[in-house]
Amino acid sequence: MSAPTIPGPPPLPRLHGVDRVRHFWQRISEGRQIDELWSHFTADARASYGFYMKESDAEELQGSRGVRRWFRIAKILFWSLLMKLTAARRVLLLVSLVMLVMSGPKVHFSNNFTFDINLETVAALSLLFLLSLELADKVTMKRDLEIAREIQTWLVPSQPPEVTGANIAFATRPQNSVAGDYYDAFYPNPADREKLMVVIADVAGKSVPAALLMATLQASLRTIAGENAPLADLVARLNRYASAHSLNGLRFTTAVLGEYNPVSRKLTYVNAGHNAPILRRANGSFEILDVGGLPLGIQSDETYETASLELKPGDALIFFTDGVVEAFNAAGEEFGNERWISAIRNLPDWDAQQTLQYLMKQVDEFVGATRQSDDITCLVFRSK
């Protein structure tokens, strides 16, 4: 007796004509609309233009007008693109361009003989090969950066700690895969709930170098804080370590570090050259947390001042990095301090998470689809 036949899954419907085109387009565009794709394209084009033109001589361009100006821009873009390739790829690109130029002319020796150089296909294949080499490098680097980003997420809290009489929320958006911004809120001694460390910091620079220094800052902070060092001593020790690894002050770090006591509601802080956090009192008044000293890593013997204040129910304390106020829109306008303060002034009486979402929405609506030029980080502390 033969074994019973188990029916398999029904065959997938075959795509024909328009359906195939629609399926192909959905796969290529990831389901995005034309206007969304155009917004992304213009943002990429603007960012790429800035990347290749950043080494140009602005005064030279300002002195040029008309066709001469466009010629100089094209020359700068070409040389900037060319010199960012490896030597072998530069030669391949130049050979491909020469073949494209040579493919145009036709030489007539007589009425019956024409010499036609046709190298378009070879040139196109050469350019496609060059593109594949660059793409392979980018994919490999992107994979490495994604791993680095995953490791970096381990260094910052995924969830805010529970705080008696208050709540905390934070968000960060790296400009690249990895960031130089750092935020944290933790109890140095988990058994002691009367001392909460709140930190926000910004390492000078971007991408991998800044991310590496951010990791060393996090490790140093956690180690020193675990020794129950007083805040002034903690910041001084962080500064000495940062100064020893700052390349003579080139890799400095701005930071705000605070100790909060949930019982007394007292916050003691030091501002090391960072954007001053803004405390909006429940009655609508403002206080700026600007007491401290130089950024970490500038002078190893810097003396830092501390200041204290008491948080009351309904108060909102906003920490942020310069990427927030320096975010710009398609017209090149910065979000700026005035818009940021206005957004904080108009805060509804919400918890920390809702407050954070409200503030980030104000920045997002202003920026639109423009690619950000710096890491954006915000930490909200709301007393209740």
What does 164-230 look like in DSSP terms, one character per residue? TTEEEEEEEE-SSSS-SEEEEEE-SSTT-TT-EEEEEEEESS-HHHHHHHHHHHHHHHHHHHHTT--
Query: How would residue 274 be classed by pLDDT, with cut points 50, 70 and 90?
Result: very high
**Tokens at 244, concatenated:** 């020893």
* CB-count exposure of residue 310 (10 Å: 0-12, 13-18, 19+): exposed
| pLDDT tens per residue across span 304-352 | 999 999 999 999 999 999 999 999 887 888 999 999 999 999 998 899 9
Torsion angle (degrees, nearest 10) of CA 253, 254, 259, 265: -160
Strand partners, 317: 279, 381
Query: How would residue 371 be classed by pLDDT, with cut points 50, 70 and 90?
Result: confident
pLDDT value for 56: 64
CATH 3.60.40.10 domain residues, the chain:
157-383
| pLDDT tens per residue across span 193-210 | 889 999 999 988 776 777
pLDDT value for 1: 46
Residue type, 335: F
pLDDT value for 184: 94
Query: How would residue 168 be classed by pLDDT, with cut points 50, 70 and 90?
Result: very high
Of the candidates 232, 330, 315, 328, the residue with the CA atom closest to the CA atom of residue 281: 315
Mean pLDDT of 260-269: 95
354 pLDDT above the threshold of 80: yes
pLDDT value for 8: 55
pLDDT value for 244: 86
Torsion angle (degrees, nearest 10) of CA 180, 183, 189, 190: -120
pLDDT value for 7: 57
pLDDT value for 60: 59
pLDDT value for 16: 63
Handedness of CA 246, 248, 251, 253 (dihedral sign): positive
**Collapsing DSSP states into helix, strand and coil, what is residue 299?**
coil
In Å, how far are 223, 262, 265 from 349, measured between CA atoms?
A: 37, 20, 19
Q: What is the residue-averaged pLDDT of the chain? A: 83
pLDDT value for 177: 66
pLDDT value for 45: 72
- Do residues 119 and 100 lie in contact, with contact meaning Cβ atoms separated by under 8 Å? yes
- Do residues 360 and 176 lie in contact, with contact meaning Cβ atoms separated by under 8 Å? no
In Å, how far are 256, 271, 274, 321, 381 from 291, measured between CA atoms?
A: 10, 6, 10, 17, 19
pLDDT value for 161: 92
* HSE value, Cβ hemisphere, 13 Å, CA-based, for 137: 9
How far is residue 263's CA from residue 260's CA, in Å, rounded to a whole number?
9
For the domain spanning 157-383, the CATH number is 3.60.40.10
* CB-count exposure of residue 7 (10 Å: 0-12, 13-18, 19+): exposed
pLDDT value for 290: 95
**Collapsing DSSP states into helix, strand and coil, what is residue 272?**
strand
Query: How would residue 106 be classed by pLDDT, with cut points 50, 70 and 90?
Result: low
261 pLDDT above the threshold of 50: yes
Query: How would residue 118 be classed by pLDDT, with cut points 50, 70 and 90?
Result: low
Phi, then psi, of 183 in degrees rounded to 5: -140, 155
Handedness of CA 334, 338, 342, 344 (dihedral sign): positive
How far is residue 325's CA from residue 334's CA, in Å, rounded to a whole number?
7
DSSP secondary-structure letter at 329?
-
Q: Helix-strand-coil percent breakdown of the chain, rounded to 5? A: 45, 20, 35
**Between 7 and 20, whose confidence is greater?**
20
| pLDDT tens per residue across span 33-74 | 887 777 777 777 776 777 777 666 655 566 667 777 788 787
Find which of 18-22, 247-251, 320-324, 374-378 is predicted with most confidence, using mean pLDDT. 320-324
Mean pLDDT of 20-30: 79
| pLDDT tens per residue across span 212-236 | 888 888 889 999 998 988 999 999 9
**Between 238 and 55, whose confidence is greater?**
238
253 pLDDT above the threshold of 50: yes
Residues 6+ apart with CB under 8 A from 329: 335, 366, 367, 368, 370
**Collapsing DSSP states into helix, strand and coil, what is residue 276?**
coil
Percent of the chain with pLDDT over 90: 39
Mean pLDDT of 87-92: 83
10 pLDDT above the threshold of 60: no
* CB-count exposure of residue 56 (10 Å: 0-12, 13-18, 19+): middle
379 pLDDT above the threshold of 90: yes
| Element spanning 382, H or E | strand 376-383
pLDDT value for 69: 76
| Helices vs. strands in the chain: H and E counts, helices first | 11, 13
pLDDT value for 133: 75
Mean pLDDT of 290-308: 94
Mean pLDDT of 279-293: 94
Residues 6+ apart with CB under 8 A from 5: none
Handedness of CA 27, 33, 35, 36 (dihedral sign): negative
